[in-house]
Structure 1
């Protein structure tokens, strides 16, 4: 393709520096020597064990989860320093080696003692109690290092709530759990650390992270950029549209908004800046698009796999339901970048800046593994089997060309990279299990749901608004997986109490947990994008939130009109809902940017936004009025666009 140096693409070292600054999951040691080899083989063993467990499916659940936790904790203490400020952080200190060894013992305790533990039926010996306490403390510390402080603090607050239940206000009060009962619940039952969230990490999520690691080894990440350039590069504002298209594809191999921003943004952001986009706008486009990668089927964010267990439906049903909202989300960003490009007068890429189209199309086979996942899930194959076959498919497809072929060395590297990526997810889901255990044992979920509904006076829109705020605030400091676990247990039930389908309610909190990554004041994806673009972080976050306005509207739409999720609908009605929603996005996009066929006056922008909201609200009269305003506005724009006083600045 065209020489990428003309776009000043960030080097791998620069990308890693930005990742470490904004993404705790990337701030790992670079240990060498014997310790480095121990970590390497530990990660490799982790992946091999997980593959064996997935293929045979013969390991009892509690043993599987205990070993999964032991691997994750022991490797986290070797890889993640206690503080980023520690000097010589690449050297593993003695205390982390001890913590790692204790973690191995924690992971081995259930496999060695399972019959005894089961026979005691909740009665803990002093050794059990000691192991349980160590497991809880090590899980919290590992999560603090690998994921961040916010989710750790939230888990501690939940534990304090469980212990001091009798001292809580009336609607939150419960009998309280004594110390032994708390430890028993959190480590010796299936409701705590070794509960559903960690089970999803040890099965679905781990395999899909491995799938992503194998895809990366084929060079598919760069291919996504080339494919996006071929499709959108020559269009008005082409580089921004490349960023949107590329980031949507990158979401299939990256479960992190920040990682997606840095990897694809290191290429697309300099390209946007070169052609005239403001720093903050260029960063915002990438941040908004990269964040949306987690809601893009067929491989969505890790929390979507948790939804399979929480709701009790197939992953295919979730992916199918999320398809239309995801398309509307990316369409909204595409529309607004198009209007911004027209407003500023930006061109597309020159022919010599484009990759060779024939060469790009000759590598289209690299997308076969992603297509394979869709086919397998549609045919009813389990998520684990679909992931396993897709990994095999990736290896087979890569062999078509020497340049993409995955050899033995690359396979080993993929296994190691996949396990490394899974560490933070395992820690986050284990800590999320603490929260779920407390909520289940104390009945907090139902109490909070009733309280939320009462606060909203049983009004659905108000309940949705309060739930949205909860999800965004929690998401500002927690990874998507942990955020979803919390909101699905304490906020989603409030929506369900008002008659909303389970899938709509869970996708509602899932969406807003993800949107938190671009919502100021703590917008990690936007801040990472500003690190690449050189723009001002808060301004980048504000621009990203504006571009992703669809993400703030669409969840309300599919709660009010489940037809958008393909729930109990007819094809004609679904087509009508999609048409009005897409038309509404055009009007809202024009109103926010202030340009359509020409520059818009302030009152026209207000009318456009109102028309867009009315079109997006699924109701006959609202659609009729919105469509009338839309037609009037577009006619006015076309008729007056060439008049001098209306011309764009």
Structure 2
């Protein structure tokens, strides 16, 4: 009984399929990738048809790849897994064959036929089960609650209740329109997100990941805190392509964490550095992870504008992490790598410098306004071209085939989460819960803008706990977005605010999925790693509030406003880091730490009065630092 309950609640385990079945799965995965490339760049196919076929194909692979629970067989799928996989294919074929009739019918006016109801019910159940196996009980519970709320919410009191919705009505909206399962999240997963993951996979396979690490080593390896700074640079560069903090931790952390520990970093600190660096990758332009694509599709804001707006906040994020690492390393007396462990910059650029070209091409194409789909496809093609220049990086036909399959397999869990998020969005739209949620937030905040922002930030983090970043963002955007949009903020401000806290949920206790991934490598407690990561990246929890009150940090406004906001925020981040670490050339007194920290906050939230107060407090804090007092005593 315990095993049965465990299999119904806990996440499944990914199998490592071998033999003929493993080859078949990889072949199907590569063919799916080819189909996605073809339908997004060469020929147009109706979005509903494309997403239906895409989802059914992914689900068919998913049930073969993941066990039903933690105790499932890892060597081969069970009979139930095969049944679910076949059912996914059959349902996909049904929707594809009937797509013409489905497209012509008028929703809710023409009743669904019995086969429609059966196919839709099966697909709904398969999607929820796929979400449970890959993402876990968190998102699955949210989806299940919303399904039940849509069907039985009319029985609740007036404040939460709504007009009764029949099961047929529910399925019609959720499964036969683009307002539910086949909505924005799944469309993004099948287009933009898939192609950018393809780009990242090709770049990594060609040797780009090794180049990023060697480049970071050449740049920062010999400096104070060299190993940790290498982690920050390499994880940030890789993370902007992977779009998954957890994936980034596993990929780069397996190299950087052991090196940090070997040179004297504690187990929790080494994990915290990697988690903070990897999480920031999902906020770093030009790619910013798949959540930014969903933001573009959901809001209608051009992705180029989102990437440009994200530049300064992301740089402030990494400035905070880098500064704290530098100060902590000096305080602990931790140096850099040995000279023989650091590749020469000339050698690094000679071996892999060509991999800078795809990133430049991607950035330029986005700035010029090309569609994200086109940009990702071109950038991937550029990777193939530049990798062919040197025999050591040249991708063979086998490498290309494996990269195609790997892309699809990496997207499996993301697709399940995006499909589930679509169900939640549809449920909220059908019931009008977004407006009711906004009323509740205003009631709790007493109409105080700052309290509305704080509550919204906390809710965004809670909604995102244990979920992939795309699902975390879209859930927060649908529930919290209407609240912020009703205030005097731009669409860019509100959704960038939500994006930040949705991403930060990956490292925020108590769930902190990225910290759990790092804990397995660092051999430390996940909670200790998560707390340390939040401390290193504390600016990320502050800057969103700053750009809500002045969007110069989002590069909007006059050049004077933008320059002032960026310069003062940069100074503020450094001062705040000094206050947090309690070190600047020497250990600081408690009073000096508080002074530096508060002055940093005043600089981050710029106004004439705040800057003047910040300067005065900074001078007072300087006078309280031990080494400066010693110098003054000598001079007297």
Checking the alignment, whether the CA contact within 8 Å between 2:354 and 2:386 is kept in structure 1 is yes
Checking the alignment, whether the CA contact within 8 Å between 1:70 and 1:103 is kept in structure 2 is yes
Checking the alignment, whether the CA contact within 8 Å between 2:592 and 2:625 is kept in structure 1 is no
1:353 to 341, 344, 358: 341
Residue 84 of structure 1 aligns with which residue? 70
Q: Aligned residue pairs: how many?
A: 621
The CA distance in 2 between the partners of 1:403 and 1:630, in whole Å, is 53
**Distance 1:286-1:644 versus aligned 2 partners, 3 A rule:** farther
1:523 to 501, 512, 519: 512
Checking the alignment, whether the CA contact within 8 Å between 1:298 and 1:373 is kept in structure 2 is yes
> Which deviates more from structure 2 when the two are superposed, residues 120-129 or residues 637-646?
637-646
The CA distance in 1 between the partners of 2:346 and 2:602, in whole Å, is 44
Residue 79 of structure 2 aligns with which residue? 94
Cα drift, residue 436 of structure 1: 0.7
Checking the alignment, whether the CA contact within 8 Å between 1:216 and 1:253 is kept in structure 2 is no
Is 1:443 the counterpart of 2:432? The answer is yes
Cα deviation, 1:463-509, whole Å, max 9, x if unaligned, reads 11111111111221211111111110110211111111111111111
Is 1:178 the counterpart of 2:166? The answer is yes
Residue 368 of structure 1 aligns with which residue? 357
Equivalences for residues 561-580 of structure 1 within 5 A: 561-567=550-556, 569-580=557-568
The CA distance in 1 between the partners of 2:197 and 2:87, in whole Å, is 27
Residue 495 of structure 2 aligns with which residue? 506
Residue 548 of structure 2 aligns with which residue? 559
Cα drift, residue 191 of structure 1: 0.6
| TM-score when normalising by structure 1 | 0.93
The CA distance in 2 between the partners of 1:100 and 1:299, in whole Å, is 33
1:549 to 533, 538, 552: 538
1:584 to 556, 566, 572: 572
Cα drift, residue 535 of structure 1: 2.1
Cα drift, residue 637 of structure 1: 3.2
Is 1:230 the counterpart of 2:215? The answer is no
Is 1:412 the counterpart of 2:401? The answer is yes
The CA distance in 1 between the partners of 2:629 and 2:282, in whole Å, is 39
SS at match of 1:598: coil
The CA distance in 2 between the partners of 1:304 and 1:168, in whole Å, is 36
The CA distance in 2 between the partners of 1:461 and 1:166, in whole Å, is 34
Is 1:631 the counterpart of 2:619? The answer is yes
Is 1:108 the counterpart of 2:93? The answer is yes
Residue 142 of structure 2 aligns with which residue? 154
Checking the alignment, whether the CA contact within 8 Å between 2:180 and 2:425 is kept in structure 1 is yes
1:597 to 576, 585, 591: 585
Checking the alignment, whether the CA contact within 8 Å between 2:214 and 2:343 is kept in structure 1 is yes
Cα drift, residue 90 of structure 1: 2.0
The CA distance in 1 between the partners of 2:318 and 2:135, in whole Å, is 28
Residue 144 of structure 1 aligns with which residue? 132
Is 1:615 the counterpart of 2:603? The answer is yes
The CA distance in 2 between the partners of 1:562 and 1:168, in whole Å, is 41
The CA distance in 2 between the partners of 1:224 and 1:592, in whole Å, is 29
Is 1:41 the counterpart of 2:27? The answer is yes
Cα drift, residue 639 of structure 1: 5.1
The CA distance in 2 between the partners of 1:176 and 1:319, in whole Å, is 42
Cα deviation, 1:525-565, whole Å, max 9, x if unaligned, reads 12222221222221111111111101110111111111111
Checking the alignment, whether the CA contact within 8 Å between 1:29 and 1:89 is kept in structure 2 is yes
Cα drift, residue 388 of structure 1: 0.7
Residue 17 of structure 1 aligns with which residue? none
Is 1:194 the counterpart of 2:165? The answer is no
Checking the alignment, whether the CA contact within 8 Å between 1:62 and 1:110 is kept in structure 2 is no
The CA distance in 2 between the partners of 1:554 and 1:289, in whole Å, is 17
Residue 264 of structure 1 aligns with which residue? 252
Cα drift, residue 638 of structure 1: 7.5
Cα drift, residue 249 of structure 1: 0.4
Checking the alignment, whether the CA contact within 8 Å between 2:466 and 2:513 is kept in structure 1 is no
SS at match of 2:241: coil
Residue 476 of structure 2 aligns with which residue? 487
Moved beyond 4 Å, runs of 4+: 641-646
Cα drift, residue 451 of structure 1: 2.1
Is 1:387 the counterpart of 2:373? The answer is no
1:130 to 118, 128, 133: 118
Checking the alignment, whether the CA contact within 8 Å between 1:31 and 1:92 is kept in structure 2 is no
Cα drift, residue 103 of structure 1: 0.3
SS at match of 1:59: coil
Residue 6 of structure 1 aligns with which residue? none
For structure 1, the residue ranges without an aligned partner over 5 or more in a row are 1-22
Cα drift, residue 644 of structure 1: 13
Cα deviation, 1:432-478, whole Å, max 9, x if unaligned, reads 11011111111111221222123212211101111111111122121
